[in-house]
Amino acid sequence: MTDMMLELRGVSASYGAIQALQNVSLQVPRGSIVALLGSNGAGKSTTLNAISHLIEPSAGEIRFDGQSIGRLHSDEIVRRGLVQVPEGREVFKDMSVRENLELGAFLRKSSRKEIAEDFERVYQMFPRLKERIEQRASTLSGGEQQMLAIGRALMARPRMILLDEPSMGLSPLLVEQIFEIIQRLNREQGLTILVVEQDVRLALRISSYAYILENGELNLHGPSKQLLNDPAVRRAYLGV
């Protein structure tokens, strides 16, 4: 068993002529929360998509739990326990909450009993989803859709999740709630988390380590507490 749950070494990716990532290396220790930060277009989503193999990197190596996953189909990556949570807006809008959650378990060969247990676990984290189980996802609030996106990922019994902008479009109060849940998933279920986030202050508060991307390259990285107090980070990303 390796201490590193996820490791990227020299990963590059481009969209046609646009070089979106250049030589990105990062590590996520088992059981930790690591933040991936940077301004618009810095390459954060591209990094997550490269890890999940939704896009094909042009160079580099990606290892999950000690094994290279670069050649695996994205379904197989999910089966191994690495699950990407899209922005809440990307839930299946015409389906009910229940159907969305069931889809999360789809790739596993699970018994009815296991799926029932998974539903219970999701309800524990998100009682609101239980109350709205037959409701169409399109009628959920933005915060509830974000909860559903996370809940759907949990149905796959992940060991690690990749969270893309969980605060997107949410009111400050809901953002607090979602981040509290993210911390509980890490604390109570030992889930390893890589979180992409625009709210740099919040992301640095809940993570132990952070990487900052600029124009597709790593600019800075370090323990989150240290970055919170770093004058350059404060000026560039915290507006102080």
Q: Which stretch binds ligand ATP (CB under 6 A): 41-49, 64-72, 143-151, 181-189?
A: 41-49
Task: Considering only the stretches 42-50, 93-101, 150-158, 200-208, report the one whose residues sit in contact with ligand ATP under the rule CB under 6 A.
Answer: 42-50
With 0-12 / 13-18 / 19 or more C-beta atoms within 10 angstroms meaning exposed / middle / buried, residue 112 is exposed
Smallest distance, ligand ATP to C-beta of residue 54, A: 10
In angstroms, what is the minimal distance from the CB of 89 to ligand ATP?
A: 12
CA distance between the termini of the chain: 42
| Binding status of residue 224 toward ligand ATP by CB under 6 A | no
What DSSP string runs through 12-48?
Answer: EEEETTEEEEEEEEEEEETT-EEEEEESTTSSHHHHH
Q: Which is nearer to ligand ATP, 144 or 197 (CB)?
A: 197
Site string for ligand ATP, 45-64 (x = CB under 6 A): xx------------------
Q: State yes or no: residue 15 binds ligand ATP (CB under 6 A).
A: yes
The CA distance from 60 to 47, in Å, is: 12
Tokens 């015409």: give the residue.
Answer: 94
| CB 8 to ligand ATP: min, Å | 14
The angle formed by the CA atoms of residues 95, 125 and 198, to the nearest 5 degrees, is 80
Q: Which one among 40, 71, 94, 112 touches ligand ATP, defined by CB under 6 A?
A: 40
Q: Which two tokens stand for residue 45?
A: 């989503």
| Chain residues that interact with ligand ATP, rule: CB under 6 A | 15, 18, 20, 38, 40-46
